[in-house]
Structure 1
Amino acid sequence: MEQIQALIVLTISCVGYSNPKNIEEKITFWVNDLNLIFTKEFVNNLRSDPTKTLGLIILLTCIYIIICMMYVYGAYKCNNVLMMPYIVAELVRLIAFTVLVITLLLTLKKNTMDIGLLIGASVLGGFILLGMFYLWVCAANLPIVINEKEHDEYVATITKLEELLQETKPKTLIGFDYVPRSNYNEALYSKHIHRFQ
């Protein structure tokens, strides 16, 4: 799911990077027609040099896609180290996405009087964020499940080895562990054989 989102962002960024004049025109339209309360400075920076901002977005998206592939490979190999970068990067992305959704909702509130549209956008944004955080929690719990599984396997292996050692441990008639046959052993055996008769 996250890789599909990253590919969509990458495609849009590449198209915008190849047509910077078109991006400047659209941003100018937004600045002139909309009340951009918290994003005005960012939008003006984007309008002044869209290729720089879009290039940074393309770079970060490519790194994110590589981190997603590392997570998939780490999940396949049950390697927690390969999964940790994705968990951290996804949490940062979700926090940034939450800030973006809140900013867009506040901008929408300043620019429209339609309460139905505002409620619908709030509910949709809330459900999208809830679903994305749920998927992140599932992904973050996979290393914990792998650790518990490995711990259970270690305990089972140790228990099995202990049972095998108990089964194969040789005993003598007098209860001592096995030692090589010698005259001393013969004397001990003769001395204590009457206990078992």
Structure 2
Amino acid sequence: MSDTTESPETVAETETIPTGDQQPHPADVIAALQAEIAGLKDQALRALAEAENTRRRAERDREDASKYAVSSFARDLLSVADNLRRALDAVPPSEDETVKALVTGVEATERELLAVFDRRGLTRIEPMGQTFDPNFHEAVFEVPNTGQPTGTVVQVLQVGYRIHDRLLRPAMVGVAKGDAGAQVNTSA
């Protein structure tokens, strides 16, 4: 009759305790349970840490998506900015009022486009006179004997752009190349 009045927990406890001559010592049972508790605590802490890492990663991905979502659109607009600058550079000085008005309008358009770039985190890379940096510049040619140190940007064919902290387009540049004697001295 006592079997019918036992709760399921009591039945489970009696099933886990071995019967017979070899009863586990209570200290051994306590040690085993403490080890199991420690293992479960460790698993719980690892699960919490993983959940926190996942949350942080998702937040960072969301911020990056928001920050860099306009990258491909901005890259397409760079040629528009380049062409506006080329148009302004190609116009000869003129006293004709029509030409002056046209130049003023193109300058205003370029200023507005650059202001939009600035608001969206796009910054120009204008490397003239700087040391060549392959992370931000693309060397298109070398210019020998310029009087500048080897590796200095001496001509900019196309300005580069960054969006926030990422490179959007490298600047296309010409780089100074020292004479053969200067190169031998610097490498020795």
Q: Output the TM-score relative to the length of structure 2.
A: 0.32
Q: Output the TM-score relative to the length of structure 1.
A: 0.31
Larger strand proportion, structure 1 or 2?
Answer: 2
> Taking CA–CA contacts closer than 8 Å with sequence separation of 6 or more, which of the two structures ends up with the larger relative contact order?
1
Larger helix proportion, structure 1 or 2?
Answer: 1
Larger Rg: 2
